[in-house]
């Protein structure tokens, strides 16, 4: 399902009930969770600086998040994805222990999306993630991953190969598991996730903005940050405005 900016597609089928349903806002009310940002692939390994995500940190601060309620998950992107998934599960456990929250919300960019989803599906993140926002995620890979054999130093690069073994297993049967809420967001002009429709997930609210936002520009995009935190902190918006 692809939702263009300014358009909202809502499908519902509600059978007759003997009593009126509770108000929509009350039905959607959920506690605020700590937020973890999972960055994307770095061609020369290493982790990504939290500074490039400052717009998102600032937006969280405006919403009243404490410093210990939003954090970056640092990891070496050249490590095998299964190892990174285990490290992410440990980070989530640390955040939950420090804050006393029952779950976290994840913001995952690029390759960070498939690592996070793998951890939710079959790793130690299961049952611990309330909302998952995939920003220009490599959920169905990218054609650029065909060149990953040239990056012989990075065993994780090939995990983004469309229909490769990692993604085939990750996307088998169901793409949005458990009681986690899933949303994806991408721009039509993304030249890193090719095709850009690879970000969409069956069972998620999938948004394609008609703004031209490059793959890395999402990390400093105020409109994207506002939309995601609107979802995290209040009634879930289905339209990406701006």
Q: Residues 186-205: pLDDT tens digits?
A: 999 999 999 999 999 999 99
Whether the model clears a pTM of 0.75, i.e. scores above it, the answer is yes
Nearest to 173 by CA among 206, 194, 202: 202
Question: Is the residue at 23 inside a domain?
Answer: no
Q: Is residue 121 scored above 50 in pLDDT?
A: yes
pLDDT at 59: 97
Look-up: residue for tokens 């998620």? Answer: 204
Whether 8 maps to a domain, the answer reads no
In the numeric block, the tokens 């640092």 are attached to: 74
In a domain, 126, yes or no: yes
Q: Say if 7 falls within a structural domain.
A: no
User: What DSSP state is assigned to residue 179?
Assistant: T
Q: How many domains is the chain partitioned into structurally?
A: 1
152 is a domain residue: yes
Domain presence at residue 16: no
**Tell me, what CATH number does 63's domain have?**
3.40.50.1820
Residue 11 lies in a domain: no
Is 21 part of a structural domain of the chain? Answer: no
Range of the domain at 167: 32-233
Work out the pLDDT band at 153, boundaries 50, 70, 90.
confident
* Band of pLDDT at residue 13, cut at 50, 70 and 90: very low
- Rounded Cα distance between 73 and 188, Å, is 27
What share of the chain in percent tops pLDDT 70?
Answer: 85
> b or e along 197-217 (b: 16 or more beta carbons within 10 Å of the residue's beta carbon)?
ebbbbeebbbbbbeeebebbe
């Amino acid at each position: 399902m692809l939702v263009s900016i300014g358009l909202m597609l809502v499908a519902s089928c509600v059978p007759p009930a003997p009593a009126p349903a509770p108000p929509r806002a009350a039905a959607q009310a959920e506690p605020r969770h700590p937020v973890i940002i999972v960055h994307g692939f770095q061609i020369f390994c290493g982790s990504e600086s939290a500074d490039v995500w400052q717009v998102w940190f600032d937006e969280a601060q405006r919403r009243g998040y404490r410093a210990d309620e939003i954090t970056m998950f640092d990891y070496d992107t050249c490590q095998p994805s299964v190892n990174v998934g285990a490290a992410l599960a440990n980070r989530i456990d640390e955040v939950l222990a420090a804050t006393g929250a029952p779950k976290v919300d994840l913001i995952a960019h690029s390759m960070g999306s498939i690592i996070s989803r793998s951890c939710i599906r079959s790793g130690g993140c299961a049952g611990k993630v309330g909302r998952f926002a995939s920003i220009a995620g490599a959920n169905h890979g990218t054609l650029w991953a065909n060149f990953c054999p040239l990056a012989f130093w990075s065993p994780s690069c090939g995990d983004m190969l469309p229909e490769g073994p990692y993604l085939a297993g990750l996307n088998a049967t169901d793409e949005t598991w458990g009681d986690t809420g899933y949303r994806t967001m991408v721009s039509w002009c993304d030249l890193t996730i090719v095709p850009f429709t690879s970000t969409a997930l069956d069972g998620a609210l999938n948004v394609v903005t008609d703004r031209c936002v490059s793959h890395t520009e999402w990390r400093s995009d105020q409109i994207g940050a506002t939309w995601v935190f609107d979802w995290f902190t209040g009634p879930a918006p289905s339209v990406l405005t701006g």
